[in-house]
């Protein structure tokens, strides 16, 4: 798979959610390992295809022998024959006595030839001290019990499994990126909210101090507002620190240095109106899109063909074999001291007869593995259906929560406006204004959380529906 190239964002550069996704997918080492796994699976698939083709091998060897071959321990003396025209046969040349009867050797009891042909011992001595031999062999499988086909199917599904695992890892990374991205957006909004709250309390502090100098407010009112101001400043500091850390976390997930400064495109929330609220779900489509379920299905296919491969151990195997063998000394020509050889062609047949049930039990074990994988897929589909329904309800509930927080925020804004007017007119106390400001802060914070919650629920729903990708 071709790797894309990404440039690091410049200091303060605005980046989009898609850009963060692409950077995270490109830089994540887990995904890169998964992509290497896909490449490796492709090579294994090609290797399995090569099993259909004939294999050519060369085997060579050298051996030094201390002894040479001596076919005769001593000179060999062979009796001769002469032709008898009267009978038309060859008769041995035998030594005869005065009476014309052939003479026997008294020690061996055998007849003594009158003439012999001598084969010298030295003529049957062959120099085999240094022996060189080799062979070129061609083997063409004809029928291997279906194992070659099963192996090719296994590698084909293994490649698909590697792709599904890679896609599943991509979805996990994208989900983590989206979470970190919207966490930054949330804290950026809360930072603006905290700054506004500090300004509100600071304005109240200024007014109370002016009233204290005019003698219409008490020291207790001033101290109470001062405490609230300090609390607001502390809250602002915590939000700023949290925002800095969340930016670091996002940069780390994107594979960038943690001190990379990125301004996000969505740091100004635009409301949740652009997101679809009503959803129509087809579980068949969900099952087809879910990469983890695809991985389980490919695992079932692999297990099924693994059982077929084990079945092949119990079936006959036929192969054609051709070879050219040679040696020095040349065994085909009187152990002549030079290379010589010849061609040979044949076939091999292997029939398993008895292995005490070992291969049969191995085949049955592979079948149980297939059944286990099928049950695991059925269980996973049930869990996915529950997961999808839970995500759907959470998504719809997030919209309802958002609507209520928007209504609460409007009420809190109106309440704060009335409290400030009442305080200026002297009919409400400092406690009333501080209470209204606190309620305003809480309502706005809940509104931010609810809108971010819709975004996160939408991301999670996309993940469980299998529609979350890097594009």
Examine residue 439 and state whether it is found in any structural domain, yes or no: yes
pLDDT of res. 271: 62
Examine residue 406 and state whether it is found in any structural domain, yes or no: yes
CA distances (Å), origin 74, targets 77, 80, 115, 120, 125: 9, 19, 18, 7, 11
pLDDT of res. 409: 94
Looking only at the bridges linking them, the beta strands covering 262-264 and 13-15 are parallel
Per the structure, the complete domain to which residue 18 belongs is given by 13-53+145-315+354-465
62 within 8 A of 132, measured Cβ to Cβ: yes
Examine residue 83 and state whether it is found in any structural domain, yes or no: no
Q: How many domains would you assign to the chain? A: 1
Q: What is the CATH number of the domain that holds 428?
A: 1.20.1600.10
pLDDT of res. 303: 96
308 within 8 A of 163, measured Cβ to Cβ: no
445 within 8 A of 407, measured Cβ to Cβ: no
pLDDT of res. 117: 83
* Residue 353: strand, helix, or coil: coil
454 within 8 A of 279, measured Cβ to Cβ: no
Would you give per-residue pLDDT tens digits along the chain (471 residues)? 434 445 555 555 788 899 999 999 999 999 999 999 999 999 999 999 999 999 999 999 999 988 888 777 788 888 888 888 888 888 888 888 787 788 888 888 888 887 888 888 877 787 788 889 999 999 999 999 999 999 999 999 999 999 999 999 999 999 999 999 999 999 999 999 999 999 999 999 999 999 888 888 889 989 999 999 999 999 999 999 999 999 999 999 999 998 888 888 887 776 655 677 777 788 999 999 999 999 999 999 999 999 999 999 999 999 999 999 998 888 777 778 888 888 999 999 999 999 999 999 999 999 999 999 999 999 999 999 999 999 999 999 999 999 999 999 999 999 999 999 998 888 888 999 999 999 999 999 999 999 999 999 999 999 999 988 766
Examine residue 290 and state whether it is found in any structural domain, yes or no: yes
pLDDT of res. 363: 95
57 within 8 A of 137, measured Cβ to Cβ: yes
* Residue 132: strand, helix, or coil: strand
pTM of the model: 0.80
pLDDT of res. 270: 66
Examine residue 343 and state whether it is found in any structural domain, yes or no: no
Tokens of 16: 């989009």
Examine residue 379 and state whether it is found in any structural domain, yes or no: yes
pLDDT of res. 251: 93
């Amino acid at each position: 798979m071709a790797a894309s190239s990404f440039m690091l964002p410049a200091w303060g550069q605005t980046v989009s959610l898609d850009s963060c996704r692409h950077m995270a997918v490109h830089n994540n080492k887990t995904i890169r390992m998964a992509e290497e796994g896909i490449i490796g699976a492709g090579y294994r698939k090609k290797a399995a295809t090569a099993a259909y083709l004939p294999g050519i091998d060369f085997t060579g060897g050298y051996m030094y022998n201390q002894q040479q071959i001596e076919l005769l321990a001593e000179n060999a003396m062979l009796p001769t024959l002469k032709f008898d025209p009267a009978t038309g046969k060859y008769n041995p040349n035998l030594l005869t006595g005065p009476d014309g009867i052939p003479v026997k050797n008294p020690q061996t009891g055998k007849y003594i030839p009158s003439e012999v042909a001598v084969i010298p011992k030295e003529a049957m001595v062959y120099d085999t001290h240094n022996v060189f031999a080799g062979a070129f062999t061609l083997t063409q499988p004809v029928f291997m019990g279906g194992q070659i086909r099963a192996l090719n199917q296994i590698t084909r599904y293994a490649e698909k499994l590697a792709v599904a695992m890679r896609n599943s890892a991509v979805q996990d990374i994208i989900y983590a990126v989206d979470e970190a991205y919207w966490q930054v957006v949330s804290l950026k909004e809360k930072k603006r909210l905290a700054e506004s709250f500090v300004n509100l309390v600071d304005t109240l502090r200024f007014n109370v101090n002016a009233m204290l100098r005019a003698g219409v407010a008490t020291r207790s009112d001033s101290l109470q507002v001062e405490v609230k101001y300090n609390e607001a400043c502390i809250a602002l500091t915590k939000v700023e620190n949290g925002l800095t850390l969340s930016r670091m976390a996002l940069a780390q997930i994107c594979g960038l240095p943690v001190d990379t400064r990125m301004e996000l495109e969505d740091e100004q929330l635009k409301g949740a109106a652009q997101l679809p609220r009503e959803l129509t779900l087809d579980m068949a489509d969900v099952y087809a899109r879910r990469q983890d379920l695809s991985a389980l299905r490919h695992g079932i296919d692999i297990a099924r063909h693994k059982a077929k491969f084990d079945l092949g151990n119990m079936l006959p195997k036929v192969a054609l074999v051709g070879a050219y063998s040679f040696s020095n000394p040349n065994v085909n020509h009187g152990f002549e001291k030079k290379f010589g050889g010849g061609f040979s062609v044949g076939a091999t047949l292997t029939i398993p007869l008895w292995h005490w049930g070992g291969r049969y039990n191995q085949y049955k074990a592979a079948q149980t593995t297939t059944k286990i994988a099928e049950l695991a897929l059925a269980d996973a589909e049930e869990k996915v259906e529950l997961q999808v329904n839970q995500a759907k309800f959470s998504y719809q509930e997030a919209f309802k929560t958002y609507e209520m927080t928007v209504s609460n925020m409007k009420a809190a804004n109106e309440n704060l406006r009335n409290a400030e007017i009442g305080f200026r007119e002297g009919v409400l106390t400092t406690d009333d204004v501080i209470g209204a400001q606190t309620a305003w802060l809480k309502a706005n914070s809940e509104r931010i959380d609810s809108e971010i919650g819709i975004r996160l629920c939408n991301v999670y729903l996309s993940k469980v529906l299998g529609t979350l990708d890097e594009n």
